[in-house]
Structure 1
């Protein structure tokens, strides 16, 4: 990537969205502090967009503000995952200055060599890569959550999911089958493999995603973010690239697991309808 070669230092922003999960947020920030202390030539900014309704995190936020990276805090209403991400992106002073911008949950931790691996990866990527999908190792499933979806779903398959998610008994069965499928031995995919959509808990956008004009304005509250960014890449002639040298640990739904199943199902339906209407018409 020419920008890295000319600039020398890498500039990274992570925008994480917190919803009543300050314990996870603190552990996540500590892992980022450890990783940045192991890296040279990286300018890192953490933007916390706080959607929390239970404001109990003053001590946590104070601790993060003293960590060894650039830190910004945005208090938000409970607007949802990608709407909060958009707030964070719009807060950044000059988006084109960043080599990459990531969106993430907070029930995660990064590996100690995260920024070192990210630097190497971005320096070698072709300009047609819009999204980097890291290895996201689920601690519950002991499996890599990436690649999320290998191939573009058809309109019919999305409509089938709408039918399922509208019926709670079918949705419960769907979730049980999905969990069983996910509890498989760790499948190793080749580095640099291109596929349809990345897992939404940690998505890395390269500067080419934003320079291409691909949108980050996904208006749905929850879910469907993976298909949204995949379709925006597709529209812009960009690729999603699997890069397992970049490692994330996922502690599985620190916030959404606390929500009612009927709420989760309804949000799935709304998000799938948006994807169908916007990209499969």
Structure 2
């Protein structure tokens, strides 16, 4: 059996019920050259049994039981090592479902049609807000912006307050119109569903994000940027985020601390990129710019 064109890695943490919805939206896709690998981070016998039932639906579905909670990209990297996919790879949560039967085929066609493509970001419509969660970031945050976000998450209490304020602001914004926006270049795709092209991995891209949770968007975006690859937002291609996951606006202290680590990581990344830009800029010679006259 040849390697599939698209390998979908879905990470589940007590998400077997959502995984069923995901599979139900995947099986009718008009593009059928795929495999689905669900990684179970739950270490729970009931979850294990429910997920094993899914594997009997189709020979293209495989379940991996990690034996412990590996985190989001930790689990995705584990699956990548086990499966060793050769084509495009989707990394996603189990509570995201395909918005129609043509979505996977549309993504594959876009992947093949763009020479310098690293990442595709479809519309991810939140069931809670009705809004597209993409783009995650239109542009790379400056050091100043990253530092402000780091300050806002310096303690678990500040992080929780920031989440609550952000949710209030989001709810006050008017809903977008019914017509999808234009296809556009962006910096970072939302982490709940990232379509990574074969070119991303051919340019030494990987899933070795150092954090247990959060910050995956920055990790992928930075590799794509440094490799000269593009990230495109496709608002006409729709995924639905049912958001039945265990994480809401009010979060545990441990999860809030992980958010703080992610903003530290983002600040470090922004500083490194700024230093890179300074190093690439023309340097003055003997106190003069290279274009000055004697």
Task: Please indicate, yes or no, whether the TM-score normalized by the shorter chain is above 0.5.
Answer: yes
Q: 1: distance between equivalents of 2:189 and 2:217?
A: 6
Deviation at 1:214, TM superposition (A): 2.2
- The aligned counterpart of 2:14 is 20
Q: Take 1:151 and 1:90, find their aligned partners in 2: how far apart are those partners? A: 31
TM-aligned CA distance change 1:258 to 1:91, over 3 Å: farther
Other-structure match for 1:189: 181
Matched, 1:142 2:130: yes
1:139-158: CA deviations, max 9, x gaps? 11000000111111122322
Alpha-carbon distance between aligned partners in 2 of 1:206 and 1:180, rounded to the nearest angstrom: 35
Shift of 1:90: 1.2
Residue among 24, 28, 32 paired with 1:30? 24
For the 8 Å contact 1:44–1:69, the answer to whether it is kept is no
Counterpart for residue 174 of structure 1: 162
What residue in structure 2 maps to residue 274 of structure 1? 265
2:5 to 6, 11, 20: 11
Q: Please point out which of 219, 243, 246 is paired with 1:252.
A: 243
The CA distance in 1 between the partners of 2:270 and 2:78, in whole Å, is 24
| Correspondence 1:62-101 to 2 at 5 A | 62-76=52-66, 77-93=68-84, 95-96=85-86, 98=87, 100-101=88-89
More divergent stretch after superposition (232-241 vs 243-252)? 243-252
Normalising by structure 2, we get a TM-score of 0.82
Equivalent of 2:110, from 121, 124, 132? 121
Moved over 6 A (4+): none
Structure 2 alignment gaps of length 5 or more = 273-294
* 2:96 alignment partner, one of 97, 105, 108: 108
**Residues 260 and 147 (structure 1 numbering): CA distance in 2 closer, same or farther, change over 3 Å?**
closer
Report the CA distance shift for 1:221/1:255 in structure 2 as closer, same or farther (over 3 A).
Answer: same
- Structure 2 vs 1, CA of residues 57 and 261 (structure 1 numbering), >3 Å: closer, same or farther? closer
Change (3 A) 1:179 1:10: same
- Structure 1 residue 10: Cα displacement: 6.8
The 1-side partners of 2:240 and 2:89 are apart by: 19
Specify whether residues 19 and 259 from structure 1 end up closer, same or farther in structure 2 by C-alpha distance, changes over 3 A only.
farther
Query: What SS does structure 1 have at the residue aligned with 2:141?
Result: coil
CA distance in 2, matches of 1:66, 1:215: 30
Instruction: Please give the secondary structure, in 2, of the residue aligned with 1:229.
Output: helix
What is the aligned counterpart of 2:51 among 54, 57, 61? 61
Q: What TM-score does the superposition give when structure 1 sets the normalisation length?
A: 0.86
| Alignment equivalent of 1:261, drawn from 252, 270, 275 | 252
Larger radius of gyration: 2
RMSD over aligned Cα atoms: 2.2
Paired with 2:11 and 2:250, the residues of 1 have a C-alpha distance of: 16
**Where does structure 1 lack aligned partners over 5 or more consecutive residues?**
1-8
Query: 1:138-180: CA deviations, max 9, x gaps?
Result: 0110000001111111223222222221234432332123223
Distance 2:50 2:206 in 1: 32
Aligned to 1:72, the other structure's residue is in SS state strand
